[in-house]
Structure 1
Amino acid sequence: MAFDASFQGASGGEHRFMEDPAIRVSDIRFAIDYLVSLPCVDAERIGAIGVCGGGAYTIHAAMTDHRIKALTSITGVNFGRLIREAFSEFNPVGAMEAMGKQRTAEAQGAERYVIDYLPPSVEAGREAGLTDIDVLEATDYYKTARGQKPNGATSGIFSFNSAAMGWDAFFKAEVLLTQPLLVVIGDKPGGFGAYRDGREIYGRAASQDKHIYVAEGWSHYDLYDQPEPVGLAMQQVVPFFKERL
């Protein structure tokens, strides 16, 4: 089962484009509730795969919902760390103060401030002086027919981003993350930090059955949809789940 997160894509919920890690993890738990209600589903054989931010959300969900019996994070990104660092220009306190002022203004009737995390095109990004591989490749993916969807967006409500500031996808992984774990990352690191986060959770996880696969020569967004790196990842993912579920 694949689903759009609350407030995103084809899912419901207001306000649109709200990114709250606690709600994202709760979405996964509710998805499991639905699965176990189906007579065709073996509740003891539920696995989970997450990609990018979804990889870290899946990790956190698995720590707090052991109905997930095995999990894979593909180029997973800890959104709490990302919002504290790159997305706040490494000034999280200043960013929170700005978010608080904006949220107060919105509560008093001001229009919501919706930010776009990416430039409108790769060319526009380069013209603006952007050089980070993750930003440029994300733009190539999300702003073109390659990955763009009718209800998709690369937007977020600025004032609500404070919900992620104090959140850590890997909190208590040393104690709670005991299920079989497979981490897949590319070896071309970028500003979103999947390489770093993958190494971190692999080291911190309490699981005695944990594995990390590094796709050499490939980047974060290559692992989204490029046939060769995705094929390499699936050579790890498919047997991993077959053996553990």
Structure 2
Amino acid sequence: MQKVSFKNRTWDVAGHLYFPENFDETKQYPAIVCVHPGSSVKEQTAGFYASQLAQNGFITLAFDASFQGESGGEPRFLEDPTTRVEDIRCAIDYLTTLSFVDNDRIGAMGVCAGGGYAANAAISEKRIKAIGTVIGTNPSRAFREANPVETLNAVAQQRTAEANGAEKLINNWIPNSKEEAQQLGVQEMDLLEAIDYYRTPRGQHPNSCNQLLFTSMSNLIMFDAFHLAEYFLTQPLLVIVGDKVGGFGSYRDGFDLYNKAASTNKKIHIVQGASHYDLYDQPQATQNALEQLVPFFQEHL
């Protein structure tokens, strides 16, 4: 693995570039951009999939979203879907500058919200020749289903307050512990498993600090990751979901993307007995996903 950076507009995006075993810089390899979930960083599940795919002959690139992790951009902790998609385009720009990457064999994959962003990029970014999602979500869908007008009104008030000197409002993505979740009366499976992944040694990383700029919510509510997929998502598509269905909606979103995509070469794979967060890092579930991803990308890149 090599630390790299590339530009999105005026700031640097921090990435990790992974290489196959016996890498030969005089040869050209297929490459895959790996996109992390919301609140995540490159060292977590996106980096895991990037490292595993690299072991199977691909150059892979995982990176921190703009405004987050080790990447630049202001304001910090902004989750801006449009910029998240532009990050993917910029990652592809960077890959095309590498002599050992075959520009005609670049793919993309993403986990959770990263899957939605990767799919959205592929709708218009035809340098992406194949797209895979692992428990991919349409990031806006959940927010649109939870009092969206009330949230938009709150964002409007907060922006006015900040324009007049108030501190930026930064919330947690999830409770910081299961005890905190219990105090809040939270019992939903996906949210509890998110805490177990992100806020315990299982998957915790200091750069994944569980902070979300509240004014991001208007961007998230209004963004539809699958918009126009029925017309323009024509590349080979692999959608992977788990059959233990939780509140984050990746099972439903996976079928939505699969059914909507214009691709004539598409497949949906259900990992039996796997929850959303099992497919982040648990060996049996992730191995099952990789057994689908590897031959899919080998065939189409």
> Under TM normalisation by the shorter chain, which class is it?
over 0.9
Deviation track 1:79-100 (CA, whole Å, cap 9, x = no partner) reads: 1112212xxxx21111100111
Decide which of 231, 235, 242 is 2:291's aligned counterpart: 235
1:43 match: secondary structure: strand
Decide which of 178, 181, 196 is 1:125's aligned counterpart: 181
Taking only aligned residues, the RMSD between alpha carbons, in angstroms, comes to 0.9
Aligned pairs for 1:209-220 (under 5 A) are 209-220=265-276
Are 1:162 and 2:222 counterparts? no
Are 1:48 and 2:104 counterparts? no
Decide which of 235, 251, 255 is 1:199's aligned counterpart: 255
Gaps (5+ residues) in structure 1? Answer: none
Give me the whole-angstrom Cα distance separating, in 2, the residues matched to 1:102 and 1:208: 45
1:47 match: secondary structure: strand
Are 1:69 and 2:119 counterparts? no
Are 1:185 and 2:185 counterparts? no
Deviation track 1:52-86 (CA, whole Å, cap 9, x = no partner) reads: 1000000000011010000100001111112212x
Match in the other structure for 2:144: 84
Give me the whole-angstrom Cα distance separating, in 2, the residues matched to 1:29 and 1:121: 35
2:102 match: secondary structure: coil
Match in the other structure for 2:46: none
Deviation track 1:38-62 (CA, whole Å, cap 9, x = no partner) reads: 1111110001110010000000000
Match in the other structure for 1:17: 77
Report the identity percentage: 54
Relative contact order: is structure 1 or structure 2 higher (C-alpha 8 Å, sep ≥ 6)?
1
Gaps (5+ residues) in structure 2? Answer: 1-60
Letter in 1 for 2:152: M
Following TM superposition, where does structure 1 have runs of at least 4 consecutive aligned residues deviating by more than 2 angstroms?
A: none
Give me the whole-angstrom Cα distance separating, in 1, the residues matched to 2:116 and 2:268: 14
Letter in 2 for 1:73: T
Deviation track 1:142-189 (CA, whole Å, cap 9, x = no partner) reads: 001111112112221112320122210000000000000000000111
Residues 133 and 190 in structure 1, CA contact (< 8 A), matched pair in contact too: yes
Count of aligned residue pairs for this structure pair: 241
Are 1:8 and 2:68 counterparts? yes
Between structures 1 and 2, the one with greater helix share: 1
Give me the whole-angstrom Cα distance separating, in 1, the residues matched to 2:76 and 2:299: 39
1:110 match: secondary structure: coil
Match in the other structure for 2:96: 36
Give me the whole-angstrom Cα distance separating, in 2, the residues matched to 1:167 and 1:119: 24
Between structures 1 and 2, the one with greater strand share: 2
TM-score scaled to structure 1, two decimals? 0.96
Give me the whole-angstrom Cα distance separating, in 1, the residues matched to 2:291 and 2:216: 39
Residues 151 and 217 in structure 2, CA contact (< 8 A), matched pair in contact too: no
Residues 190 and 247 in structure 2, CA contact (< 8 A), matched pair in contact too: yes
Give me the whole-angstrom Cα distance separating, in 2, the residues matched to 1:160 and 1:47: 28
